[in-house]
Amino acid sequence: MPERAIGVFDSGVGGLTVLKELLRQLPSEQLVYLGDTARVPYGTKSPGTVLRYALEAAAFLAQRQVKMMVVACNTASSVALDVLEDRFSLPVVGVIEPGAKKAVELTRNGKVGVIGTEGTIKSGAYTRAIQALDPAVEVYGAACPLFVPLAEEGWAEHPIARMAAEEYLAPLLEHEIDTLVLGCTHYPLLKNTLHQVLGDRVALVDSAEETGRVVAKMLGSRSLFRASVPCCPRFYVSDVPTRFERVGGAFLGEVLQGVQQVSIEAG
């Protein structure tokens, strides 16, 4: 079992920010990544549709005999994590709880902002996870849909990104948040822009980084660390790989090789 790969899935390229963290924190692990590029974005779809997509993506990874599954997509983690844990008899890690835990640790004034897709914010998943840890923490959410295309366009530090950030974050600053959870796979790319708008008084929580730590801990507690040297990660996508290879290379910071198109829709 320890020699098996860790499966990671996302709606598209964004989850590569989580994969990057896993590669950094767990260089001895074999990783398999699935991007559901034929059906991206998940962030604007209904919870029922996202759940169906997530189940199909997870089934694809389970068929590849992974030892653990990481739901890198915040939107999918928000609506599907419980069902995935029930349906699959292997550890499933989402990105919400790790980010929520870090936010509770970091906040000094008990006012936390969460930014994400429409789906993630509407689900209230971060608010529930944060308040389950500390009911006194006030959570303010803001959907920031423009950040996803800006990051994919390579415009994360463009003046347009800065203007969008000022608009989206103004209401959160009015609530005097001192901590902001980056509740979407793409947002770590916007860290510099967000920091410029928020200043030093607001701590940023990168869910990808925290998820890497949770995965490492879980592997340790279940004696699942791999002993043999891994090959490079394997990449699967549900649409033609061209765009994934181009945009994903920038997300991961290295050239993506051997990306394979697969069909993941259940009959």
Length of the chain: 267
Which parts of 126-165 interact with ligand DGL (CB under 6 A)?
A: 148
17 binds ligand DGL per the rule CB under 6 A = no
**Backbone CA torsion sign across 59, 213, 99, 247:** negative
211 binds ligand DGL per the rule CB under 6 A = no
Tokens of 50: 């996202």
Considering only the stretches 67-75, 79-87, 155-163, 219-227, report the one whose residues sit in contact with ligand DGL under the rule CB under 6 A. Answer: 67-75
Which parts of 166-195 interact with ligand DGL (CB under 6 A)?
A: 184-186
Residue with nearest beta carbon to ligand DGL: 43
120 binds ligand DGL per the rule CB under 6 A = yes
The answer to whether 133 and 110 are in contact (CB under 8 A) is no
Catalytic residue among 73, 144, 231, 232: 73
Q: Which of 6, 20, 29, 43 binds ligand DGL (CB under 6 A)?
A: 43
14 binds ligand DGL per the rule CB under 6 A = yes
Min dist CB 207 to ligand DGL, Å, is 8
The answer to whether 114 and 87 are in contact (CB under 8 A) is no
Which one, of 239, 115, 236, 110, lies nearest residue 175 by Cα?
A: 110
The answer to whether 238 and 37 are in contact (CB under 8 A) is yes
Answer yes or no: 184 catalytic: yes
For residue 124, the one-letter residue type is: G
Please report, for the chain, how many H helices and E strands are present, in that order.
11, 10
Q: Which of 8, 9, 10, 208 binds ligand DGL (CB under 6 A)?
A: 10
210 binds ligand DGL per the rule CB under 6 A = no
The answer to whether 127 and 114 are in contact (CB under 8 A) is yes
Tokens of 86: 């029930």
Which parts of 74-113 interact with ligand DGL (CB under 6 A)?
A: 74-75
Please identify every residue annotated as catalytic.
Answer: 73, 184
Q: Which residues bind ligand DGL (CB under 6 A)?
A: 10-12, 14, 40-43, 73-75, 117, 120, 148, 184-186
